[in-house]
């Protein structure tokens, strides 16, 4: 449990850092290409679930809390 919390804080810290970089790039008037690259990098760092979908740390904690049905892929057949 403690390791998962530490990992969650590290992942959240990485996203906060990426968001600050994007905010800095957008507010200083630099090219939007760099901001898009930073956003793309942050999305690539998202962990994947068992179906290959990238999930945010908040949804991981929600699954732990027992609301797994909100994040499961439903069959269309």
What is the pLDDT, as a whole number, of residue 23? 78
Task: Walk along the chain (77 residues) in steps of 10 and give the mean pLDDT of each run.
Answer: 66 78 71 71 69 55 50 54
Helix, strand, coil content of the chain in percent (nearest 5): 65, 5, 30
Please give the residue range of the domain that contains residue 30: 2-70
Phi/psi at 58 (5° precision):
-65, -40
What pLDDT does 17 receive? 81
- How much is the pLDDT for 73? 56
Number of domains the chain contains: 1
Is 48 inside any structural domain? yes
Is residue 20 domain-resident?
yes
For residue 75, being part of any structural domain is answered with no
Residue-level pLDDT at 13: 76
Residue 7 lies inside a defined structural domain of this protein: yes
User: Does residue 77 fall inside a structural domain?
Assistant: no
């Amino acid at each position: 449990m403690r390791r998962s919390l530490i990992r969650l804080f590290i992942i959240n810290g990485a996203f906060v850092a990426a968001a600050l970089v994007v905010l800095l790039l957008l507010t200083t008037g630099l090219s939007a290409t760099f901001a898009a690259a930073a956003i793309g990098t942050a999305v690539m760092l998202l962990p994947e679930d068992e179906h290959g979908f990238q999930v945010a740390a908040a949804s991981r904690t929600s699954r732990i809390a027992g609301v797994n049905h909100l994040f499961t892929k439903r069959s269309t057949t």
